[in-house]
Amino acid sequence: MKTDRAFHLKLYEQLVLIREFEERVKFLFLEGTMPGTIHQCQGQEATAVGVCAALRPDDFITSTFRGHGHALAKGLSVQEMLDELFGATTGCCKGKGGSMHMGNMDKGMVPGIAIVAGGIPLAAGMALAFKLQRRPQVVACFFGDGAVAEGAFHEGVNMAAIWDLPVILVCENNLYGASTRIDKVMKNPRVSDRAASYGFRGETVDGNDVLAVYAAAQRAAEECRAGKGPVLLELLTYRRTGHSRRDACHYQAKDEREAWFARDPIERFAVQLLDRGDVSQADLDAIKADVDRQITAGVENAKRAPQPTLADLTTDVFA
């Protein structure tokens, strides 16, 4: 396991990048300059960063409607994402996808699948292809706690299990599916228990501890590459922001929010880093300043990025 200073600072940078990206996007929406709708991941940054840090560049991820963090962690650029959000042709999906369908196949990210659980059988199918082609890649399939109730989860997971497919099933359990708390929709709220019923390994991890997520994802990736997949990782985390743009989260209890805010993944990792001795607050501040500059420049560019013309409407329908 990599434990060097540079690696840790890289993880920290990614966490901060996702947080600041989301905060800026939120501002742009509220300001009215950015079109569409958004589902954001403030508070959940460590799941994306920890899992993707354990993947190789040619490994794939699948994502959801809440995919900005996954995309940044998998290496999509701030620019191609902001351009996409502004509907520009230079966006990662030429402006045709938008916030919910962010992706870039060259960087190992399938465009986000906004149908809850829709990415699970798809990821299993990608893993089946890797197995048939004897390629060493793995797929990390991100989904929420809400997806576990869908038929697609059970059908996809069972097939991944019976054929030992190299797919890491990453459940970001943020306690809510939209406004509905998990205890109202699961008799057994421990998602990782599902794995045993299909005959493979599942594990519940503190999803707000980026190093714990990284370690778990590394174990899972190794097992998958050794033909011992799938693995189900349940990452416990919390959404600090609304489900989507106009949600004030009145269904989240105040004490619950406060307890989770106190376990913020970025603040916690900062404390861990500072405790090491060889990282200073100035190092962290410099990272933040650098990220801010990158995002500010990105927004300026995205606002001027080329918009599609009507001819683009009918392209890209067929290969």
Ligand X SMILES: Cc1ncc(C[n+]2csc(CCOP(=O)(O)OP(=O)(O)O)c2C)c(N)n1
Task: Pick between residue 16 and residue 100 the one whose CB is nearest to ligand X.
Answer: 100
Residue 181 DSSP label: E
The answer to whether 55 touches 213, Cβ cutoff 8 Å, is: no
The helix-helix angle for 78-85 and 5-31 (nearest 10°) equals 20
Task: Pick between residue 226 and residue 253 the one whose CB is nearest to another protein.
Answer: 253
Closest by CA to 73, choosing from 219, 212, 270, 210, is 210
Structure tokens at 43: 């508070």
Task: Pick between residue 24 and residue 68 the one whose CB is nearest to ligand X.
Answer: 68
From the list 22, 59, 84, 145, which residue makes contact with Mg ion (rule: CB under 5 A)?
A: 145
> Is 174 among the residues that bind Mg ion (CB under 5 A)?
yes
The Cα 34–Cα 149 span in angstroms is 33
Binding to ligand X in span 3-22, by CB under 6 A:
none
> Is 65 among the residues that bind ligand X (CB under 6 A)?
yes
Binding to ligand X in span 224-263, by CB under 6 A:
243
The answer to whether 72 touches 66, Cβ cutoff 8 Å, is: no
Q: Which helix (H) or strand (E) holds 270?
A: helix 265-276
The helix-helix angle for 45-53 and 265-276 (nearest 10°) equals 60
Residue 147 DSSP label: G
Task: Pick between residue 98 and residue 265 the one whose CB is nearest to another protein.
Answer: 98
| Shortest Å, Cβ 248 to ligand X | 15
> Is 174 among the residues that bind ligand X (CB under 6 A)?
yes
Residue 57: asked if its preceding bond is cis (omega within 30°), the reply is no
Closest by CA to 117, choosing from 97, 139, 140, 144, is 144
Listed ranges 36-44, 98-106, 139-147, 307-315: which one lies at the site for Mg ion (CB under 5 A): 139-147
Which residues are CB-neighbours of 227 under 8 A, at least 6 positions away? 164, 166
Task: Pick between residue 39 and residue 268 the one whose CB is nearest to ligand X.
Answer: 39
Q: Which residues pair with 267 in a beta bridge?
A: none
- Picked from ligand X, another protein, Mg ion, none, the partner binding residue 101 (CB below 5 to 8 A depending on kind) is another protein
Q: Where do contacts with another protein occur on this chain (CB under 8 A)?
A: 35-37, 87-88, 93, 95-101, 113-117, 146-147, 149-152, 177-180, 184-186, 246-247, 250-252, 307-310, 312-314, 317
> Is 144 among the residues that bind Mg ion (CB under 5 A)?
yes
Residue type, 209: D
> Is 178 among the residues that bind ligand X (CB under 6 A)?
yes
Binding to ligand X in span 138-157, by CB under 6 A:
144-147
- Picked from another protein, Mg ion, ligand X, none, the partner binding residue 66 (CB below 5 to 8 A depending on kind) is ligand X
> Is 102 among the residues that bind ligand X (CB under 6 A)?
no
- Residues 236-255, one symbol each (x = binds Mg ion by CB under 5 A, - = not), give --------------------
> Is 230 among the residues that bind Mg ion (CB under 5 A)?
no
Residue 314 DSSP label: G
> Is 177 among the residues that bind ligand X (CB under 6 A)?
yes
Residue 204 DSSP label: E
Number of residues binding to Mg ion, judged by CB under 5 A: 4
Binding to ligand X in span 21-40, by CB under 6 A:
none
- Per-residue CA distances from 65 to 114, 142, 193, 222 (Å): 4, 10, 25, 28
Cα-trace Rg, the chain: 19
Residues that bind Mg ion (CB under 5 A): 144-145, 174, 177
Residues that bind ligand X (CB under 6 A): 65-66, 114-116, 144-147, 174, 176-178, 243
